[in-house]
Structure 1
Amino acid sequence: MPLEYAGAGVLAEHVAVRTAVGLFDVSHLGKIAVTGSGAADFVNRCLTADLGKITPGQAQYSLLCNDDGGVVDDLIAYLAGPDEVLLIPNAANCAEVASLLAAAAPEGVAVENRHEAYAVFAVQGPHSDEVLEAAGLPTGHAYMSFARAELDGVPLTVCRTGYTGERGYELVVPSEQAGLVWDALVAAGEPYGIQLAGLAARDTLRTEMGYPLHGQDISPDISPVQARLGWAVGWKKDAFFGDAALRAEKEATPNRLLWGLRAVGRGIPRPGMLVRDDEGHEIGSVTSGTFSPTLKTGIALALLDPRFVLGEQVAVDVRRRREAFTIVKPPFVTPGVREP
């Protein structure tokens, strides 16, 4: 995926997704097949979310944690049935996730890295339904559910998921036919103003929604509790990777919490920038930061000392200046609602 496409740029791509429809090639995402007798139960004993709360044909956001409760990766689990689960992890972590699961898998359960076998395309935006319908693909199924389909004879999976906050779908396509499906989506989207979108727009869109990025907002050193992802943890399950550490941290007070920051002035925050209180003391750091094309101001996610709360004002060291920011609760924008 390029940072941006020639002739458009990150701002145009971002606006297209918020107002019309964008098409992302996210084939860099990993693909791991877990199959065999009891495959779903095995996955449920490893990942944080309770896979037992969904049924075949549904997907679930979940986390794979280490023994200390840090996040090895966040991923989507596609539940095909009790003996088949497809995992979509982040590209950089695919091999590690596959290795950890394979090492823990009982006899009869196979864990296969299928990264090269499939491409993944994301159709995101208010007109995503119209684009898929024009291509002859299913639409309208519930959020975090998926449907099997064909496009010009190519078998694929259409899931109501995305990383932008807008209505949208992600398509899992056999790699050998990926070009055919891509061209069909582009053609179907032309009447609706479809715009190819790259990595930079993907980042501004997900940051506006407060969606975490692994390696920045979550990592092996940042737990789901600190990142406010406790909703993706099945606390009533008997066990999962890292459960003891996470349960202990949940009962105690975490030493930092993830908040949103919105610029008071013109400062544009970037990852790694220090956050300070009104006396200049360091209280945390920015994990993700950017200019919001929707709000026309700087926004950030930041891990802060837990004593700081919603509505307080803090300072961020931006290019050797201390810029004022207000602590807010993401998302920064509501899809379909635009601020002037």
Structure 2
Amino acid sequence: MSPASEPLALLHSPLHASHVALGATMAPFGGWEMPIQYQGGGVIAEHTAVREAVGIFDVSHLGKATVTGPGAAAFVNATLSADLRKIGPGQAQYTLCCTGTGGVTDDLIAYLVSDDEVFLVPNAANTAKVVAALQGVAPEDVEVLDRHREYGVIAVQGPQSAAVLSAVGLPTELGYMSWQDATYEGLPVRVCRTGYTGERGYELLPAWDVARPLWDALLVAAAPLGGRAAGLGARDTLRTEMGYPLHGQDLSTEITPVQARAGWAVGWKKDAFFGRDALIAEKTAGPTRTLRGLVALDRGIPRAHQQVKGPDGRALGEITSGTHSPTLGKGIALALIDTAAGIQDGDELIVDVRGRPLRVQVQAPPFVESHVR
């Protein structure tokens, strides 16, 4: 194999050695080697810890980028989908970086620092694409930098999350989607009250060099509260119970926010953002397919790419995300369904699970109660 054809080495988070010491099952994710689950627990135990106590996640694979310079916030507002004018400094916003045809290059969180600075947290594999899209249209005095390897990201999620942060001296009295800069061992940590689980929680952005001691301290504080380290397996079951989209499955360059029912993340009254004309046209005409929630009525687990059919056997769409819900004890899924079929909540459909019919009921997410606020 020539050097040009050799696979790229997986990146490691600043917490990699800790994961190995905890006996984590590691796997590739967005170009990084990340923990899927930990020895002595497993996905269900880690999922349950988040719902009932607290879970500590390493999500350092998430991207980090800065947009700085005169009018940086106005520039971001003219490119990304959500209306950044609706929040103030010290607040964060879920937003989308769309393509010219209305697809989604990535979904991300924008932290508003000031009129002249915005901090962005995209998904791992798409960071370079988001940075390139912004750099391609940025004014000369606005700088867009990829700072992926300068910060770790640790998510502390669950009803005991505030107690864990207090134990390590970090701020907790934050409104939903608000953030505050703090320090740990003299190095900066940005603390935001947000997350991807449906529970009250925080995402911490520590300087790369302080991420491991902070992680270790968080685990020590979480243990007596019934908390534990949690991997990306539990993160996926938790987010699916909430109906939160995963880019590359429920949102993509081929799946628009109109189709994915993410129009709430679009500032429709703005004069400009990537993909604006295409999205307005689709919204006006109505999407040909719509993301719907499904709950299994029989034993079985729906999985991505399985076909969804009507009671008459007619193909109606495809599963985008599917899993076993540890909270409900049954299969759940998100699926893109033909809008013309007129499917409503409560309707019964069929998922083709490797040739076996699985009865499912259409249900709007979240599938379990959210406590995020």
Query: Quick one: percent identity of the two aligned structures?
Result: 60
Please name the residue that 1:2 is paired with. 35
| Corresponding residue of 2:109 | 76
1:190 aligns with 2:223: yes
Q: Which letter does structure 2 place at the counterpart of 1:318?
A: V
Distance 2:210 2:157 in 1: 21
Asked if 1:215 is matched to 2:274, the reply is no
Task: Trace 1:55-204 onto structure 2 (pairs within 5 A).
Answer: 55-204=88-237
2:261, 2:248 → 1: CA distance? 16
Aligned AA (1:334): E
TM-superposed CA distance for 1:93, in Å, is 0.3
> Could you tell me how far 1:279 is from its partner in structure 2?
1.2
The one-letter code of the counterpart of 1:254 is P
User: How many Å separate the matches in 2 of 1:19 and 1:47?
Assistant: 35
Q: CA deviation at 1:194?
A: 1.7
The counterpart of 1:48, out of the listed 81, 88, 94, is: 81
Which amino acid letter does the alignment assign opposite residue 159 of structure 1?
C
Cα deviation, residue 278, structure 1: 1.1
Stretches of 4+ aligned residues off by more than 2 angstroms: none
Distance, in Å, in 1 between the alignment partners of 2:35 and 2:212 is 16
Instruction: State the one-letter code of the partner of 2:47.
Output: H
SS of 2:85 mapped into structure 1: helix
Structure 1 CA distance, aligned partners of 2:230 and 2:355? Answer: 33
Among candidates 256, 266, 269, match of residue 289 of structure 2: 256
Q: Which residue of 2 aligns with 1:327?
A: 362
Return 5+ residue gaps in structure 2 as ranges: 1-33
Q: CA contact under 8 A between 1:18 and 1:335: conserved in structure 2?
A: no
Structure 1 residues not aligned, in runs of 5+: none
SS in 2 for 1:11: helix
Please report how far the alpha carbon of residue 175 of structure 1 lies from its aligned counterpart in structure 2 after TM superposition. 0.7
- CA deviation map 1:281-333 (0-9, x unaligned): 11000000000000000000000011211111100001210111000100000
Provide the residue aligned with 2:46 in structure 1: 13
Q: For 2:219, what is the secondary structure of its paired residue?
A: helix
**Residue deviations 1:12-47 (CA, integer Å, cap 9, x gap):** 000000000000000000001111111000000000
For residues 206-257 of structure 1, what are the alpha-carbon distances to aligned partners after superposition, in whole Å with 9 as ceiling and x for unaligned? 0000000000000000000000001000001111000000000001121000
User: Is 2:185–2:210's contact at 8 Å kept on the other side of the alignment?
Assistant: no
Distance 2:161 2:191 in 1: 12
Give the structure 1 partner of residue 318 of structure 2: 285
SS in 2 for 1:119: coil
**Partner secondary structure for residue 129 of structure 1:** helix
Output the TM-score relative to the length of structure 1. 0.98
Partner Cα separation in structure 2 for residue 35 and residue 184 of structure 1: 33
C-alpha separation between the residues in 1 aligned to 2:266 and 2:56? 31
Distance 1:44 1:266 in 2: 46
Q: Is the 8 A contact 2:294 2:334 kept in 1?
A: yes
Q: 1:63, 1:280 → 2: CA distance?
A: 36
Distance 1:126 1:7 in 2: 22
Of 72, 75, 87, 1:39 maps to 72
CA RMSD of the aligned region, Å? 1.0
Which residue identity is paired with 1:143?
A: Y
Q: Kindly tell me the number of residue pairs found equivalent between the two proteins.
A: 337
Q: Distance in 2 between matches of 1:11 and 1:168?
A: 19
Question: Which deviates more from structure 2 when the two are superposed, residues 208-217 or residues 134-143?
Answer: 134-143
The alignment's TM-score, normalised by the length of structure 2, stands at 0.89
Write the distance in 2 (CA, Å) between the matches of 1:293 and 1:178. 30
Q: Residue 51 of structure 2 aligns to which amino acid in structure 1?
A: R
Question: 8 Å contact 1:315–1:322 — kept in the other structure?
Answer: yes
User: Displacement of 1:335 after TM fit?
Assistant: 3.5
Residue 271, structure 1, aligned to residue 310, structure 2 = no
My pick for the range that moved more, 46-55 or 147-156, is 147-156
* Contact residue 155 and residue 173 of structure 1 kept, 8 A: yes
Aligned to 1:303: 336
Matching of residue 205 in structure 1 with residue 251 in structure 2: no
- SS for the counterpart of 2:152 is strand
Q: 1:312 aligns with which of 325, 347, 356?
A: 347
